[in-house]
Amino acid sequence: MQFDLSQIPSQIAYKLMTSTVTPRPIAWVTSMSKAGVVNAAPYSFFNVMGSEPPTVVIGLLKDPKKGFKDTAENILTTGEFVINLVTENVAEKMNVTSIDAPRDIDELSCARLTGRPSQFVKPPQIAESPVSFECVNHASMVTGPHQTLVVGRVLGIRIDDEYVMDAEKGYVDTPAIHTIGRMHGSGWYTRTGDTFQLDRPTWADWPHKDGMTKDRLAKD
């Protein structure tokens, strides 16, 4: 079935996209208001976008009635935030921080999480997370009446020592971290332990390259 997204309600388009683009990494974002109130919330419209400079992207959605959530307001106002990765052992605490708490409530306290001082930005890291990216707002773009895209420039990464295999080479014991991902529907997540490996092919070793080249020349 072909869906014309210009002809269906936005909430249906949301369901179609989040039900098929899976799994999605989770950005557990900590931010701070101008008044110094710390906020923590999970976002699954998130990924890495580049390494020179190091950048990540977060999609911030606005509630039609309530407007932007605290995270979006804080990032757009102060320009600083921290992305903490979510592991299986802190999944329930991450879920607590998604609560629709009043603006003056610190979700870290609600979830009984520990704030850890950051090195480059004011918002704290989440100590229970094994990986934290300290970011500043590199660029933001309004992509619709109820959504904004934030590109964060990563100033520093904190990785718990037990997962760093070789700091000089940048080798990390990724399977041991046990991150989780967001899936379809309300409240569905996935573990990342069931993996498989494929070697990337090279043109020099591709067995059919000669035939493909001849076919292409014949078409031209």
- Beta carbons within 8 Å of 184's beta carbon, 6+ residues apart: 18, 19, 20, 22
Number of domains in the chain: 1
- With respect to residue 23, please indicate whether it lies within any of the assigned structural domains: yes
Evaluate whether residue 80 is within a structural domain: yes
Considering the entire predicted model, what is its pTM?
0.91
- Which of 158, 159, 140 has its CA nearest to residue 150? 140
- For residue 99 the two structure tokens come to 């609560």
In-domain check, residue 77: yes
Does 220 reside within a domain? Answer: no
Cβ atoms of 45 and 24 within 8 Å: the answer is yes
Model pLDDT, residue 216: 59
CATH number, position 85? 2.30.110.10
Report if residue 55 sits inside a domain: yes
* pLDDT tens digit at each of 220 positions of the chain: 999 999 999 999 999 999 999 999 999 999 999 999 999 999 999 999 999 999 999 999 887 777 778 899 999 999 999 999 999 999 999 999 998 888 778 899 999 999 999 999 999 999 999 999 999 999 999 998 889 999 999 999 999 999 999 999 999 999 999 999 999 988 999 999 999 999 998 988 888 777 776 555 455 5
Is residue 215 domain-resident? no
Residue 202 lies in a domain: no
Contacts of 72 (CB under 8 A, 6+ apart): 60, 62, 148, 150
Q: Which amino acid is at 56?
A: V
37: nearest Cα among 99, 122, 132: 122
Domain encompassing residue 31: 10-195
